[in-house]
Amino acid sequence: MARVDTRAIERELDRIRSFDLEQLRGEWRRLYHTNAPKISRDLLVLALGYRLQEIEHGGLGESTRRKLRTIAKALRKTGRVGPLPSLSLKPGARLVREWCGRTHIVTVTEDGFEYAGTSYPSLTKIAKKITGAHWSGPRFFGLPAPGAERANIMGCVIYWLNSAQRLRRDF
């Protein structure tokens, strides 16, 4: 991984803080390739600082972008955003499910899931691949519904490797 020069970012942020409103709008056009919104000078400085860091560090991870897309979809559909789902699987987590006498292992990745050497965007697609029928992927793998107790896990065990690389179990 490339080393990030935080001092260079700090110097650039100091430079931006010294700009007047018109200079900030010009910097916005340069960094965002669009006209600046009509927001306060303070918000422009914060947004430009975020953009500089985003360029340097690579922006949001895929799992965060996926959560934001889900939130935006709920907002468009219902006009409001409810509580975030309580289920949060970290990359590297393994979901294990026995089906028809065969054990199926799914690994959580940054941008979805991996099953049998193939990447999938959702657990539901994997459940359909395994069973041949439509299933709720999280339900198939025994993951708790948002807000539900963890008592009913349908025999699914979540595995993950801890920092010592030992296999642990979470019931």
Residue 155 has pLDDT above 50, yes or no: no
Angle at 123 between CA 119 and CA 95, to 5 degrees: 90
pLDDT of residue 63: 84
Which two three-digit tokens encode residue 102?
A: 């065969």
Which two three-digit tokens encode residue 158?
A: 């979540």
pLDDT of residue 61: 84
Residues 91 and 63: their CA atoms lie apart, in Å, by: 9
Task: Give me the DSSP letters along 72-130.
Answer: HHHHHHHSS--PPPS--PPTT-EEEEEETTEEEEEEEETTEEEETTEEES-HHHHHHHH
Which two three-digit tokens encode residue 123?
A: 């657990």
Per-residue pLDDT of 27-53, as tens digits, reads 999 999 999 999 999 999 999 999 988
Of residues 149 and 18, which shows the higher confidence score? 18
Residues 62 and 75: their CA atoms lie apart, in Å, by: 20
Residue 13 has pLDDT above 50, yes or no: yes
pLDDT band at 146; cut points 50, 70, 90: low
